[in-house]
Amino acid sequence: MNQQGDNKVSNKTNSISFNEVCEARFSRRGFVKAGFATTAALATSQLIGCGSDGSSKVQVTENKWREENPYKSRYDFKEIEHGGDEYHHVAPDHEAAILIRWGDALFKDSPEFDPNTQTAKSQLKQFGYNNDYIGYLKLEPMRGQQARALLCVNHEYAIPGLMFPGFPEDGFKNITKEQVQITQAAVGNSIVEVGLKDGEWSVNTRSKYNRRISALDTEIEITGPVRGSSRMKTSSDKRGKTVVGTLNNCAGGMTPWGTYLTCEENFNDHFLGEVADNHPEAENHDRYNVGTNYTNWGLHDQRFDVTKEPNEPNRFGWVVEIDPLDPESTPKKRTALGRFKHEGGECIVAKSGQLVVYMGDDQRFEYLYKFVSKDKVNLDSPRANRDLLDEGTLYVAKFLEDGYLEWMPLVHDNGPLQAAFDSQADILIEARRAADLLGATPLDRPEDVVPNKHNGKVYAMLTNNTKRQDPNPANPRTENYFGHIIEISELDGDFASNTGYWDILVKCGNPQVPSHQADWNTETSKNGWFASPDNAVVDPDGRLWVTTDQGGKAFMSGTNDGLWALETDGALRGTGKMFFRVPNGAEMCGPIFSDDGETLFLAVQHPGDHGRIGEVRVETATTRWPDFNENMPPRPSIVTIRKRNGGKVG
Ligand code: FEO
Ligand code: CA
Ligand code: CA
Ligand code: CA
């Protein structure tokens, strides 16, 4: 989401003020660059990683190639140009095809999509709205197929003005009960089986795996330390152990045992009203901006009215684990991973065998977290990892001015936390306040955080922060309109380590405009730079790809959002290259590659969007992509990209 909800900064703690910052920073930076070859080789030799296929293997080929070819690009495509129009654009020699659109059938009995006669019941049988994260789970191909997989797709949030033709301006103030239920049904997740035949991907509506999970009617179990907490109890769940629905599912991750992590981000936008200042949850609600109420669900669904259900907001803002191979399974909110505005949850197995999940809290001046499981991942038996995410340690990051990084455990006996909280459950519910007390580093809106098993690094997308007035080394610009990317190297290449070091990979914006203070490799072309990095993916060959979400700031870059390749190693480190561009109004989400690297799946979110959520209209949408039919609203859709003559994408 383009974060209309974070205009109000809710972190009132003083961000750390650094002295002598730049000097220390740049000497460190010089060292890191000079030491590149050694550190990369060291990290790789000690590293065990896990792919989306669940494989665990030491990958050394890529870095050997890089060491032998320090000046060559890792990418082989002709880049496209910055710009903006109603259409999508992909690099030459690649074919982009629409795989599935909002409203398309997921089941053999799904009703045909008709924007004028939508019901919640029909939406629950159709692909949801605003596709964001895409997870790829490989299946054995059926006869005649080249490939087969389950796509695990997030549907982040609804936009009534772009969903309902004729929806009045500020119509959400008087939104009907049926419209509320349609929007609740349209968010959550889709699990959908897809197959590749004769070079084309299609949806199998007869698959036993296809499933819709929504905010309307899916029962979800609360597991881990917060299960049963008095602060999770509501009038409909007196035990605090189950919750209906998941929402604002932004990015996510796939575990090495084949489950799907879907992350609840701007949950606060769904809550109406506020509790009295002396209410025990008042401070907590304030810290999470509860009550922004962009959806007005509380008008017809009392659990989203905090004056009636003050604990309901505590039941959102979690990471949810879903088993896509068991459509009857109950999804689980894994509370050990903390409650905040989770962007994503990308996983990697540390050399100890423990699972590490990297997570950003996407709001201005919020923090970067990682979870390290107590037990080891069992790659031989997926079922053995069933409750692995219920026990472990949640850490928050402190970026030190000398380029070092400290991961501080959010555990009850750690320093000030014992006196400030009654229990570990309270720490996890109010992870932000706990992180404040430990002096975590407030960042410029952390989005995806992606480990790369091929070079041992972790890439954190910091999308922007126009409110920053006090720069520091990890957030080096005031009024940061364009965002930056931080590269983390865990100590000894150990992802479970509680120390590491960091560097800035790129400072986004136009390197030709001095006021942007952008920093790219000078090989970057006039189309190769970008602004507001959001999602990222490492492809099967270890190459990094970054998507953007500029929101209302696209006019500053002169280009619609898109997907860029970004060199991370060798002499071209920090060189961007534009691969795909979305139609007007859209945001680029969900990049994921098939395991062979021959297909790239992309999520085009909110095409045609043109303003604040209460103002946008189907009738004035800036594109009718992908149907270009005046009777059809623009439709968020998943796009597949393959190379025309075969081979790896990009
Ligand atoms: Fe939903 Fe942080 O983007
Ligand atoms: Ca989004
Ligand atoms: Ca975003
Ligand atoms: Ca995002």
Average pLDDT across the chain, whole number: 92
Mean pLDDT on 215-237 = 98
Q: What pLDDT, on the 0 to 100 scale, is given for residue 461?
A: 98
Rounded CA gap, 18 and 20, in Å? 7
SS3 280: coil
Which pLDDT band, with edges at 50, 70 and 90, does 172 fall under?
confident
Element (H or E) spanning 23, and its range?
Answer: helix 21-34
What pLDDT sits at residue 106? 98
pLDDT band at residue 171 under the 50/70/90 scheme: confident
The Å distance, Cα 363 to ligand 4 centre, comes to 11
CB 453 within 8 A of CB 59: yes
Confidence label for 65 from pLDDT (cuts 50, 70 and 90): confident
Assess whether the previous peptide bond of 626 is cis (omega < 30° from 0): yes
Instruction: Considering every ligand atom shown, identify the ligand nearest to the alpha carbon of residue 606 and give its number.
Output: 2
Q: Residue 54: which pLDDT band, with cuts at 50, 70 and 90? A: very low
Structure tokens at 581: 């561009």
pLDDT, tens only, 346-378: 999 999 999 999 999 999 999 999 999 999 999
pLDDT score recorded for residue 143? 96
Helices (H), 130-247: 160-163, 177-186
Instruction: Tell how far the Cα of 3 is from the centroid of ligand 4, in angstroms.
Output: 9
DSSP string, 393-424: EEEEEEE-TTSEEEEEE--TTSTTHHHH-SSH
> How many A from CA of 603 to the centre of ligand 3?
13
Q: For the residues 567-573, what does the mean pLDDT come to?
A: 96
As a whole number, mean pLDDT of residues 246-275 equals 98
Task: Mean pLDDT check: name the lowest of 128-132, 497-501, 611-615, 634-638.
Answer: 611-615
Question: CB–CB of 267/248 below 8 Å?
Answer: yes
At which residue do the structure tokens 């459509």 appear? 327
Q: Give the position, in ligand 1's atom list, of the atom nearest the Cα of 156.
A: 1
Q: Which helix (H) or strand (E) holds 392?
A: strand 392-399
Residue 621 CA, ligand 2 centroid: distance in Å: 18
- Nearest atom (ligand 1) to Cα of 266: 1
State mean pLDDT over 447-469: 97
* 42, amino acid identity: L
Q: Give the sign of the dihedral formed by CA 84, CA 620, CA 628, CA 123.
A: positive
CA of 535 to the centre of ligand 4 (A): 6
The rounded percent of the chain whose pLDDT value lies above 70 is: 91
User: For ligand 1, what atom is nearest to the CA of residue 341?
Assistant: 2
pLDDT value of residue 35: 30
Residue nearest to atom 1 of ligand 1 (CA): 1
Residue count (the chain): 650
Nearest CA to ligand 1 atom 3: 1
- What residue ranges line ligand 1, CB within 6 angstroms? 1, 156, 250, 265, 343, 362, 447, 534
In the block, residue with structure tokens 């203070």: 517
Predicted local distance difference test score (pLDDT) of residue 61: 57
Centre of ligand 4 from the C-alpha of residue 152, in Å: 16
Count of C-beta atoms within a 10 Å radius of residue 54: 17
Stated pTM of the model: 0.93
User: In the Cβ-directed half-sphere of 392, how many Cα atoms lie within 13 Å?
Assistant: 27
Give yes or no for a contact between 448 and 133, defined as CB atoms under 8 angstroms apart: no
pLDDT digits (tens, 9 = 90+) for 556-568: 999 999 999 999 9
* Ligand 1 atom with least separation from CA of 362: 2
Binned at pLDDT 50, 70 and 90, residue 213 comes out as very high
pLDDT at 613: 84
Among the atoms of ligand 1, which is closest to the Cα of residue 445? 2
Which ligand has the nearest atom to the CA of 132?
Answer: 2
Task: Give 549 Cα–ligand 3 centroid separation in angstroms.
Answer: 5
Q: Are strands 332-334 and 219-223 parallel, antiparallel or unpaired?
A: parallel
- The Cα–Cα gap between 548 and 562 comes to 6
Ligand approaching nearest to the C-alpha of 463 = 3
Cα–Cα dist 583/604, whole Å: 8
Average pLDDT of the segment spanning 123-152: 98
The answer, yes or no, to whether residue 59 has pLDDT greater than 60, is no
Per-residue model confidence as pLDDT tens digits over 420-438: 999 999 999 999 999 999 9
pLDDT exceeds cutoff 90 at 1: no
The candidate with the shortest Cα–Cα distance to 251, out of 103, 356, 101, 135, is 135
Q: In the block, which residue shows the tokens 């030799």?
A: 45
What average pLDDT does this structure show over 308-327?
98
Residue 53 has what pLDDT?
Answer: 35
Q: Which atom, in ligand 1's list, is nearest to the CA of 265?
A: 1
pLDDT value at 185 more than 70: yes
589 Cα–ligand 2 center, Å? 7
